[in-house]
Amino acid sequence: MTPCMHNLTYRWSKLIPSRPPGIEMETTMITLTLAGMLLGCETKFYDDTGATSTDDTSDTTDTADTTDTETIGDGDSPVVEGGTIECQSSDDDSPFDLYYFDADVTDPQGSSNVATIGSKFYAYDEDGSLIFSDDIVVCSGGNCFGSFREDKYDDLDCDDISDQKFTIEIFDEDGNSSGEAKLTALVPEA
């Protein structure tokens, strides 16, 4: 979380009235992301010299030999570098299981080219059948994340998180897709 977003989180938490944890988390995550973009939080990028810039443009006149470099993806589409999903079981404070996921994403045109909203989340059962898919992914600064309550979708249970498959598909502003990328389930210790 960038310092700007951390500051927004603190300020925004003082404005949000108390709600059940599941609803508050969903609302807060989406609201903070959109508020950060509207308020103009800057993402700083560092070049090889340690100098900072607030945009991701760089000098493209690199004279180094690039014949032995590995190409990631197709050169146009976003790439999911890795991601996780975890579930918080229901308790007295919240009657619903809460799922949270996040992933690191890169795009050949820069992280600002990853679409803020409109990317997809998929959940599959242990047989590989689709349980649901939805546009609940929010992306900002190379990080994509989201959350949902199990009561919104059938056939989900925190106890089965390791048996189910969860994926995300990230889109960029040009309409390019990362394809589905599997999220690693974080299983709570018993």
Sheet of strand 117-124, all strands in order from the earlier edge strand to the far edge: 177-182, 165-171, 117-124, 130-140, 143-149, 98-106, 79-88, 184-186
Lowest mean pLDDT of 32-41, 62-71, 141-150, 177-186, name the range: 62-71
> Domain for residue 9, yes or no?
yes
Of the two residues 69 and 111, the one the predictor is more confident about is 111
Are 180 and 128 contained in the same domain? yes
Residue range 63-91: mean pLDDT, rounded:
71
> Domain for residue 61, yes or no?
no
Q: Give pLDDT, residue 26.
A: 53
Count up the domains in the chain and report the number.
2
Is 50 exceeded by the pLDDT of residue 128?
A: yes
Are 98 and 170 contained in the same domain? yes
CATH number assigned to the domain comprising residue 90: 2.60.40.4070
How is residue 28 written in tokens? Answer: 């807060």
pLDDT confidence bin for 151, thresholds 50/70/90: confident
Is 90 exceeded by the pLDDT of residue 100?
A: yes
Three state DSSP letters for the chain: CCHHHHHHHHHHHHHCCCCCHHHHHHHHHHHHHHHHHHHCCCCCEECCCCCEECCCCCCCCCCCCCCCCCCCCCCCCCEEEEEEEEEECCCCCCCCCEEEEEEEEECCCCHHHECCEEEEEEEECCCCCEEEEEEEEEEECCEEEEEEEHHHCCCCCHHHCCCCEEEEEEEECCCCEEEEEECEEECCCC
Is 90 exceeded by the pLDDT of residue 80?
A: yes
Domain that holds residue 26: 3-45
From residue 152, how far is each of 29, 34, 69, 185 by CA, in Å? 17, 22, 45, 19
Are 140 and 89 contained in the same domain? yes
> Domain for residue 70, yes or no?
no
Residue range 166-187: mean pLDDT, rounded:
96
Cα 17 to its chain centre, rounded Å, is: 25
